[in-house]
């Protein structure tokens, strides 16, 4: 007997899209991989809501648990505990229903190398019940949309890495999925191909497509995603807009001043200012300060340096970034 889908629980309010229904919801989602040297908790009690039409990112370093999370949401990995609803179907109770409503682009090239590009797409349409002419029409439309019309008759193995990703995205969209999952879409592609992919993915979102993307690239997360879940060792560290994550994690501006001689007198003088910054590092003629008050600190550094007989050679201000937010959240540098 076919299992009855469990209805999705009520939607929790969120910072944006507060009134849109949930495209994805997880409750205590957990994955443990048994290992001889001790079980590995790859995802540890994830509670997430992604709204319809949202562009949502899972950001984390290699091994953080992003692919495992996507695997559970796309029915490829069985959760050890917790529940997930995707397109209003409970993943464990109705995996077939979920699969028919999602598109998935994995990290690996899963195109059929022996088929033409157009057939790769059209066969996917046929699999989902589209009549042959409609499947071919949609395949050609998608290839046109993604700038690949001239590749329709090429064999899949003749494509570059960036073209392969674009065709895989097109194939995942053949059946008009409610949610599109992209696992590290730009990993391993050259910068120009990455720009093209970003444009395509952003344009999909503009048409209202719900997109969930995993990435270990901070700039990709910031450029594309409306909201981010920052994951580390299977734990959810933060879930908000990139701007809010930077602000709430207390990520600070870094000011770097290069003098013409040893910067120690300037750093000492800065320390002696009441209420002045504490996070001051000196490296020869360079002083680096992390602060929430960059304008006043920079002014101090210029005045103090001049009073100490130092000439400023160069000064830079690095605003709060996801990089500095990750450092604040985890206490260690972000090394993808
Ligand atoms: N099938 C598996 N069996 C055992 N351990 C696994 C399996 N799949 C993943 N892991 C481990 O689970 C942890 C999370 O892996 P996962 O692939 O989800 O991370 P990720 O954030 O997607 O990283 P990447 O970007 O490198 O894919 C890692 O320590 C990984 O080695």
Residue nearest to atom 1 of ligand 1 (CA): 33
Residue 98 Cα to ligand 1 midpoint, Å, equals 23
Residue ID of nearest Cα to ligand 1 atom 24: 62
In the sheet that 89-90 helps form, which strands lie side by side, from edge to edge? 40-51, 22-33, 81-86, 89-90
Instruction: List every span in the chain annotated with CATH 3.40.50.300.
Output: 22-111+159-247
Q: Counting atoms of ligand 1 from 1, which one is nearest the CA of 35? A: 4
CA-nearest of 226, 268, 218 to 244 is 226
Listed in sequence order, the residues at least 6 apart from 253 whose beta carbon sits closer than 8 Å to its beta carbon are 290, 291, 292, 294, 317, 318, 319, 320
Asked if residue 4 has pLDDT above 60, the reply is no
CB 146 within 8 A of CB 170: yes
Tell me which residue has its CA closest to atom 30 in ligand 1: 63
Residue nearest to atom 9 of ligand 1 (CA): 68
User: Given ligand 1 and candidates 64, 188, 212, which is best to mutate, with the most ligand atoms within 8 Å of its CB?
Assistant: 64
pLDDT score of 3 more than 60: no
Q: Are 32 and 41 in contact (CB under 8 A)?
A: yes
- For residue 324, the model assigns a pLDDT of 79
Which of 29, 60, 65 has most ligand 1 atoms within 8 Å of CB, for mutation? 65
Mean pLDDT of 179-186: 94
Domain with CATH 3.30.70.2470 in the chain: 252-319
State the pLDDT at residue 20.
Answer: 61
Q: How many Å lie between the centroid of ligand 1 and the Cα of residue 67?
A: 7
For the record, the structure tokens of 124 come out as 């996917």
**ipTM confidence score:** 0.97
Specify the ligand 1 atom closest to the Cα of 31.
Answer: 12
- Give me the pLDDT at residue 183, please: 94
Using alpha carbons, select from 59, 22, 46, 8 the residue that is nearest to residue 227: 59
* CATH class given for the domain over 252-319: alpha beta
Q: Please, how many CA atoms are within 13 Å of residue 169, restricted to the half-sphere of its CB?
A: 31
Which numbered atom of ligand 1 lies nearest the CA of 68? 18
Q: What is the pTM of this model?
A: 0.82
Mean of the per-residue pLDDT values for the chain? Answer: 89
Give the pLDDT of residue 89. Answer: 95
Ligand 1 site residues, Cβ closer than 6 angstroms: 33, 40, 42, 60, 62-68, 184, 216
Looking at the domain covering 22-111+159-247, what would its CATH class be?
Answer: alpha beta
CA of 91 to the centre of ligand 1 (A): 20
More reliable by pLDDT, 291 or 5: 291
Q: How confident is the model at residue 333 (pLDDT cuts 50, 70, 90)?
A: confident
Contact 29/45 with Cβ under 8 angstroms? yes
Phi/psi of residue 309, nearest 5 degrees: 80, 20
Q: Which residues in 52-147 belong to E strands, given as ranges?
A: 55-59, 81-86, 89-90, 102-105
Instruction: State the residue for tokens 């910031």.
Output: 222
CA-65 nearest atom, ligand 1: 18
Query: Counting atoms of ligand 1 from 1, which one is nearest the CA of 231?
Result: 21
Q: Nearest C-alpha to atom 31 of ligand 1 is from which residue?
A: 63
pLDDT tens for 234-281 read 999 999 999 999 888 777 788 889 999 999 999 988 888 777 777 888
Ordered DSSP codes for 227-286: EEEEEETTEEEEEE-HHHHHHHTT--EEEEEEESS--HHHHHHHHTSTT--S-EEEETTE
Nearest ligand 1 atom to alpha carbon 58: 21
Supply 118's token pair: 């157009």
For 213, phi and psi rounded to 5 degrees? -125, 140
- Which tens digits make up the pLDDT trace of 96-116? 999 999 999 999 999 999 999
Q: Are strands 55-59 and 210-215 parallel, antiparallel or unpaired?
A: parallel
């Amino acid at each position: 007997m076919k299992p009855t889908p469990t209805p999705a629980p009520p939607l929790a309010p969120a910072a944006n899209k507060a009134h849109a229904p949930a495209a994805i919801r997880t409750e205590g989602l957990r994955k443990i991989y048994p290992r001889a040297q001790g079980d590995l908790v790859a995802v540890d009690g994830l509670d997430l809501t992604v709204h319809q039409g949202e562009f949502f990112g899972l950001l984390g370093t290699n091994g953080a648990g992003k692919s495992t999370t996507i695997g559970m949401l796309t029915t490829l990995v069985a959760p050890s505990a917790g529940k997930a609803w995707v397109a209003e179907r409970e993943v464990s109770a109705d995996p077939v229903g979920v699969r028919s409503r999602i598109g998935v682009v994995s990290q690996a090239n899963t195109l059929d190398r022996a088929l033409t590009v157009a057939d790769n797409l059209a066969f996917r349409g046929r699999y989902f019940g589209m009549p042959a002419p409609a499947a071919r029409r949609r395949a050609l439309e998608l290839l046109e949309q993604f700038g690949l019309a001239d590749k329709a008759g090429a064999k899949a193995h003749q494509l570059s890495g960036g073209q392969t990703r674009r065709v895989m995205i097109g194939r995942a969209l053949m059946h008009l999925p409610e949610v599109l999952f992209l696992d590290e879409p730009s990993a391993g592609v050259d910068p120009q191909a990455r720009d093209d992919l970003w444009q395509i993915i952003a344009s999909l979102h503009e048409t209202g497509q719900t997109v969930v993307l995993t990435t270990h690239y901070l700039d990709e997360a910031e450029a594309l995603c409306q909201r981010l879940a920052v994951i580390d060792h299977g734990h959810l560290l933060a879930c908000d807009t990139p701007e809010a994550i930077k602000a709430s994690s207390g990520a600070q501006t870094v000011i770097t001043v290069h003098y013409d001689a040893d910067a120690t007198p300037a750093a000492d003088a800065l320390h002696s200012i009441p209420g002045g910054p504490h996070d001051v590092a000196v490296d020869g003629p360079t002083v680096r300060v992390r602060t929430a008050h960059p304008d006043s600190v920079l002014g101090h550094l210029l005045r103090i340096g001049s009073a100490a007989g130092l000439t400023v050679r160069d000064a830079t201000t690095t605003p709060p970034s996801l990089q500095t937010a990750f450092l604040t959240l985890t206490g260690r540098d972000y090394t993808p």
